[in-house]
Amino acid sequence: MHAVAKRIEAGWRLRTAFLLSLTLAANAAWPADRMEAALTVTQEAAGPRIEPAIYGHFVEHLGTGVYGGLWVGPESSIPNTRGFRNDVVAALRRLKVPVLRWPGGCFADDYDWRDGIGAPAQRPVRLNKVWGNVPDNNRVGTHEFMDLAEQLGAEVYLAGNMGSMPPRAMSQWLEYLTSDSADSTLANERRRNGRDQPWKVKYFGVGNESWGCGGSMRAEYAADLHRQYATFLRGPTLKVASGDGEGRDEVTETMMARARDQMDALSLHYYTVPGPWEHKGLATGFDAQRWALTLKTALGVEARISATEAIMDRHDPARRVALFVDEWGLWHDPEPGSNGAFLHQQNTLRDATVAALSLNIFHRHTARVKMANIAQMVNVLQAMVLTDGPLMLLTPTYHLFDMYQPFQGATPLKLTLQTPRYRQGGIELPAVDVSGARGADGVTTLALVNLDPDRWARVLTNLAEPVQGRVLTAAAMDAHNSFAQARTLVPAPYAAQPVNGRLSLELPPKSIVVVRTLSSNLVNPSR
């Protein structure tokens, strides 16, 4: 604790004068209609710790997410380690990726794990029938993916094929991966393919989106099939059942009523689609109305989580079964000129704001939500990283995840927020959203989001000590990084000092501010 304090204070000495000058300049320029909010922070836990797996990621064989994004092959002139790009892996390692879901998604529902083992030159070429009917030579298969997970230091979450593969094949895949038997034919096959020691597979998805691309199943049939497949998945792995992704409570109800004893977790999928499915709109070039609609849609995940939790609580009052939001994020129309089946989209300040609001919501539901996986990691949907040949850039969503790292494993705190409203057309939302948590080192982290794209917000707190952190904001709602200007939108330093014993946090329009403080010295909110 003392060492942490010294490091924080050293940083303050170097930057306080500069940061305070910025704050004073900003305050002087504030319009008269700035918003006023009030935040009361307590030291009382609001729930169990924020599992690091809530910051999980999702990799699917889709577009250039794997080939050309993560993977360039060992023969590439782009620096790589056993085929995976060094620059991309290094960037992702800085995020401390806790868990990685693979190979889908809908791709998993037609995937035969045996296609991706053995000598690469002898692996079959299959058509990716879900995403563009393009050929996949299976160069990245089980061994390669497990190597990537080890390079990242991430736990493994495999999505098994319950849509088109028998349960025996799923069971054999798990044995191939995890058996340490000297007599197992499957374990010895793995050894011949280059891996002596078994791998650890912490999570195994028994199917994916069984209501849709995973088999178009009725909930009753999916529940019965889950029971069958899960019976044959023996070994130390957590079994995840395919749950709702269409806002249908009956799917959750049926899965919990019929199959709760055969699952360790139930999945929930929630995508933020800022408009009709056929006209979602591009990631850039949107107006204030689309900004507000997008944020309103993103906040809707809390209602879905609450409804799902209520059903799960009736069937599982001890909360043994976890809820995994294992696909979430913004889904825009593909970039003009790109292959529409590749789901390639730009990533802006709006995406980062949606990520912040979503993570804040997950923090509020830690009693049941134990994992979340943003879709997806590289070049697809709400990606952390974009690549173009040898070029690479970090997106605003990447920077948001980086700013939120202190929340991994921290304990959420009870907070009281009084916030004005943000109105745009017929849409009304809270103007400020907040999350707070205390880490094992005793440091309190606060994340505050100003949803209003035009007005500053001043948040008066009951904190009595200075804070430092970072702010992510820009003049334009669709500010983003490009390969020509890769640092257009990056976090900037942020600091604030108490005035008359109370700390006030000034939030620029459309901004995310994350600050940290060692203080447990709280003033009476009535002062």
Q: What is the predicted pLDDT for the residue at 30?
A: 53
Q: At what angle do helices 249-259 and 301-315 cross, to 10 degrees?
A: 30
Q: How far apart are the first and last CA of the chain?
A: 29
**What's the CATH number for 52-67+99-407?**
3.20.20.80
- CA atoms of 417 and 424, how far apart (whole Å): 21
Q: At what angle do helices 349-363 and 396-403 cross, to 10 degrees?
A: 30
From the CB of residue 164, how many other CB atoms can be counted at a distance below 10 Å?
A: 13
CA angle 251, 331, 240 (to 5 degrees): 35
- CA atoms of 198 and 313, how far apart (whole Å): 36
Closest C-alpha to 235, from 258, 204, 260 = 204
Helix (H, G, I), strand (E, B) or coil at 407: helix
Closest C-alpha to 255, from 207, 306, 303 = 207
Q: What is the predicted pLDDT for the residue at 4?
A: 36
- Residue 171, phi then psi, degrees to nearest 5: -65, -40
What residues are annotated to the active site? 209, 327
Torsion angle, alpha carbons of 158, 374, 128, 241, to 10: 40
> For 107-153, where are the E strands, in sequence order?
126-128, 134-136
* CA atoms in the 13 A half-sphere facing the CB of 85: 23
* Topology annotation, domain 2-48+411-517: Immunoglobulin-like (2.60.40)
- Residue 107, phi then psi, degrees to nearest 5: -60, -35
Contact 426, 289 (CB under 8 A): no
Helix (H) or strand (E) holding 495: strand 492-496
Q: Which amino acid is at 370?
A: K
From the CB of residue 122, how many other CB atoms can be counted at a distance below 10 Å?
A: 7
The pTM for the full model equals: 0.93
Residue 12 CB contacts under 8 Å (≥ 6 apart), including other chains = 466, 468, 495
In the chain, list all ranges with CATH 2.60.40.1180. Answer: 2-48+411-517
Low-confidence ranges of the chain (pLDDT < 50): 1-28
Q: Which amino acid is at 314?
A: R
Q: What are the b/e assignments for 5-25, b being 16+ CB within 10 Å? A: eeebeeebeeeeeebeeebee
Closest C-alpha to 436, from 448, 427, 421, 418 = 448
Give one DSSP letter per residue of 18-68, joined into a string: HHHHHHHHHHHT--TT-EEEEEEEEEEE-SS---GGGGEEE--SSTTSTBT
Q: What is the predicted pLDDT for the residue at 1?
A: 36
Tens-place pLDDT, residues 289-325: 999 999 999 999 999 999 999 999 999 999 999 999 9
Helix (H, G, I), strand (E, B) or coil at 446: strand
Contact 411, 426 (CB under 8 A): no
- CA atoms of 522 and 39, how far apart (whole Å): 12
In the chain, list all ranges with CATH 3.20.20.80. Answer: 52-67+99-407
Closest C-alpha to 331, from 270, 395, 377, 287 = 270
CA angle 395, 396, 402 (to 5 degrees): 95
Contact 300, 355 (CB under 8 A): no
- CA atoms of 463 and 293, how far apart (whole Å): 33
Tokens 């991994």, residue? 408
Closest C-alpha to 487, from 396, 351, 404, 389 = 396
Q: What is the predicted pLDDT for the residue at 31?
A: 59
Token pair for 159? 């999505």
> For 234-368, where are the E strands, in sequence order?
238-241, 265-272, 322-330
CA angle 479, 485, 486 (to 5 degrees): 85
Contact 16, 494 (CB under 8 A): no
Helix (H, G, I), strand (E, B) or coil at 117: coil
